[in-house]
Structure 1
Amino acid sequence: METISTAKSHGGVQGVYRHQSAVTGTPMTFAVFVPPQAANGPVPVLWYLSGLTCSHANVMEKGEYRAAASAHGVIIVTPDTSPRGEGVPDEKDNWQFGSGAGFYLDATQEPYAANYRMYSYIVEELTALIAAEFPADMSRQGIFGHSMGGHGALTMALKHPDRFASCSAFAPITEPSSADWSRPALEKYLGVDQAAWRAYDAVALIADGRRFPDFLVDQGTADPFLNTGLRPQLLADACQKAGIPLTLNLREGYDHSYFFISTFMADHIAWHASRLAR
Structure 2
Amino acid sequence: MKQVSASKAYEGVQHVYSHPSEACGGEMTFALYLPPQAEKSTVPLLWYLSGLTCTHQNVMDKGEYRRAASEHGVAIICPDTSPRGADVPDEKDNWQFGQGAGFYLDATQEPFSRHYNMRRYILSELTDLVAENFPVDMKRQGIFGHSMGGHGALTFALRNPDRFRSVSAFAPIVQPSTADWSRPAFEKYLGSDPANWREYDATNLIEGGSRISEILVDQGTADQFLDNGLRPWLLRDACQKAGIDLTLNMREGYDHSYNFISTFMADHIAWHAARLAA
Same fold (TM over 0.5): yes
Letter in 2 for 1:47: W
Letter in 2 for 1:82: S
Structure 1 residue 203: deviation in Å?
A: 0.2
Which residue pairs with 2:24 in the alignment?
A: 24
Which residue pairs with 1:200 in the alignment?
A: 200
Runs (4+) of structure 1 exceeding 4 A deviation are none
How do residues 67-78 of structure 1 correspond to structure 2 at under 5 angstroms?
67-78=67-78
Which residue pairs with 2:173 in the alignment?
A: 173
Please list every run of 5 or more consecutive structure 2 residues that lacks an aligned counterpart in the other structure. none
Letter in 2 for 1:37: Q
User: What CA deviation, in whole Å up to 9, does each residue of 1:129-179 have, x standing for no partner?
Assistant: 110111100000000000000000000000000000000000000000000
Which residue pairs with 1:270 in the alignment?
A: 270
User: What CA deviation, in whole Å up to 9, does each residue of 1:36-76 have, x standing for no partner?
Assistant: 00111100000000000000000011000000000000000
1:47 aligns with 2:71: no
Cα distance in 2 between the residues matched to 1:163 and 1:53: 28
Cα distance in 1 between the residues matched to 2:152 and 2:257: 18
Which residue pairs with 2:35 in the alignment?
A: 35
User: What CA deviation, in whole Å up to 9, does each residue of 1:55-109 have, x standing for no partner?
Assistant: 0000011000000000000000000000010110000000000000000000000
Which residue pairs with 1:80 in the alignment?
A: 80
Cα distance in 2 between the residues matched to 1:9 and 1:233: 38
Please list every run of 5 or more consecutive structure 1 residues that lacks an aligned counterpart in the other structure. none
Q: CA RMSD in A?
A: 0.4
User: What CA deviation, in whole Å up to 9, does each residue of 1:179-218 have, x standing for no partner?
Assistant: 0000000000000010000000000000000000100000
Letter in 1 for 2:137: D
Which residue pairs with 1:127 in the alignment?
A: 127
Letter in 2 for 1:49: L
Structure 1 residue 225: deviation in Å?
A: 0.1
Letter in 1 for 2:83: P
Letter in 1 for 2:16: V
User: What CA deviation, in whole Å up to 9, does each residue of 1:248-275 have, x standing for no partner?
Assistant: 0000000000000000000000000000
Percent of residue pairs identical: 71
Which residue pairs with 1:190 in the alignment?
A: 190
Letter in 2 for 1:148: M
Letter in 1 for 2:172: P
Letter in 1 for 2:99: S
Which residue pairs with 1:209 in the alignment?
A: 209
Structure 1 residue 219: deviation in Å?
A: 0.1
Which residue pairs with 1:256 in the alignment?
A: 256
Which residue pairs with 1:151 in the alignment?
A: 151
Letter in 2 for 1:182: S
